[in-house]
Amino acid sequence: MSTGETFGRTIQLFLVDGKPTGLRKATIHGWTGMLFVSGTSAFGELTAREEVDRTGVYVLAGPDPDRAGLTRVYIGSGNSVAERIRQSAVNREFWETAIAVTTSDDDLSKGHAEYLEARLIELTSQSGRVSLDNGTHPQTNRRRLPEADRANMEQFLANLKIVLPVIGLEMLKPQPKAVSETQKPVAERTSGEVQFEVRHKSGIAATAVEEDGEFVVLEGSGAVSDAGYSHNSYSGLKEKLIEDGTLIPAETGLKFSKPWSFSSPSAAASVVLDRNSNGRIEWKVKGSKQTYHDWQQAEAARQEVAE
């Protein structure tokens, strides 16, 4: 077995009251860490849990009121997560989801929690997927933990990177290379990836790649400014991209000033074409008539044969 091989992980998601919208408990087999997740209606149940009245970290997450389409998060820590998360929740109106992170054996010290808090803020800021509500960014190198403790906390973070996306929060997930490595030429950072393109009758065209399940429209791609449709499910996202300078005026319509990662081909096509679009049909393998859908089916068949 090669050392680079990845292993499956077992994540247990327990619905405390039997309802998918109620309090949830998430754990990974073999890990002492545990997460409790609630919306506003189950917040009292979360803070009442004995396990949450322990040292740990927490996250409050919700729609960013100032930037459409973005999530805002606040990250904190405390000797009693229950006490600190209650205080933070009262002072913030944006949050819709609360996440408390402690351990089953209550072995996190104040120093451990402060290290985790600082690293979570650092990694979240680096990923750029959400906006941070934290006013200060504590320095990790000022959290003077012994070397062994730092290694243990980094492993703790590695497990959080696995379980947080499962509960719907991707604040720690690194951006695709096509987005994060813009100092490299497009050809170099998209090497090995299939390129897709979509064209509008006006001549506006966009190019994209799919990486780690995300659909990235590359810089220089065009976008229709106003197609004249009264309804577009992604109009709010498009307005956000215009506001933050991702989409800028061009000779014809708009263009992407930098690469942008979309959640799906349809989201990308809808923004580019300025109308609700089925991206699985609109995007085609560059230089051919093969749709994204047909390409995906062909890839699935190829993998089946290879196995």
Least confident of 12-26, 110-124, 138-152, 153-167: 138-152
User: What average pLDDT does range 108-113 have in this prediction?
Assistant: 94
Dihedral-angle region of residue 156 (phi above 0 means left; psi in -120 to 50 means alpha; beta otherwise): alpha
Cα dist from 135 to 101, 111, 249, whole Å: 21, 20, 33
What is the predicted pLDDT for the residue at 141? 63
Q: Taking a C-beta distance cutoff of 8 angstroms, is the pair 262, 234 a contact?
A: no
What is the predicted pLDDT for the residue at 136? 77
Joined tokens for residue 78: 């405390």
- pLDDT-derived band at 3 (thresholds 50, 70, 90) equals very low
Average pLDDT of the chain to the nearest whole number? 91
State the pairing for strand pair 33-39/24-28: antiparallel
- pLDDT-derived band at 1 (thresholds 50, 70, 90) equals very low
For the chain, count helices (H), then strands (E). Answer: 10, 15
> Distance between CA 115 and CA 77 in Å, rounded?
9
Q: What is the pLDDT of residues 181-228, one digit of tens each?
A: 888 888 888 888 899 999 999 999 999 999 888 899 999 999 999 877
**How many CA within 13 A on the CB side of residue 264?**
12
* E-only strand ranges, the chain: 11-15, 24-28, 33-39, 56-63, 71-78, 97-103, 131-132, 195-199, 205-211, 214-217, 222-223, 247-249, 254-256, 260-262, 284-285
User: What average pLDDT does range 21-30 have in this prediction?
Assistant: 94
User: How is the beta sheet containing 205-211 ordered, strand by strand?
Assistant: 260-262, 214-217, 205-211, 195-199, 284-285
User: What average pLDDT does range 177-183 have in this prediction?
Assistant: 87
User: What average pLDDT does range 265-284 have in this prediction?
Assistant: 95
Cα dist from 264 to 68, 162, 169, 216, whole Å: 18, 21, 17, 9
What is the predicted pLDDT for the residue at 48? 97
User: What average pLDDT does range 220-239 have in this prediction?
Assistant: 85
**Cα 179 to chain centroid, rounded:** 13
> Distance between CA 272 and CA 275 in Å, rounded?
8
Residue 2: pLDDT above 50?
no
What is the predicted pLDDT for the residue at 149? 94
What is the predicted pLDDT for the residue at 133? 95
Closest CA to 77 of 148, 150, 138, 166: 138
> Distance between CA 181 and CA 190 in Å, rounded?
10
What is the predicted pLDDT for the residue at 6? 66
**How many CA within 13 A on the CB side of residue 229?**
15
What is the predicted pLDDT for the residue at 234? 86
Q: Taking a C-beta distance cutoff of 8 angstroms, is the pair 72, 94 a contact?
A: yes
- What is the percentage of the chain residues whose pLDDT exceeds 90? 70
User: What average pLDDT does range 71-90 have in this prediction?
Assistant: 96
- In order, the DSSP letters of 91-127 are T-SS--EEEEEEETT----HHHHHHHHHHHHHHHHHH
Model pTM?
0.79
Closest CA to 79 of 47, 118, 112, 46: 112
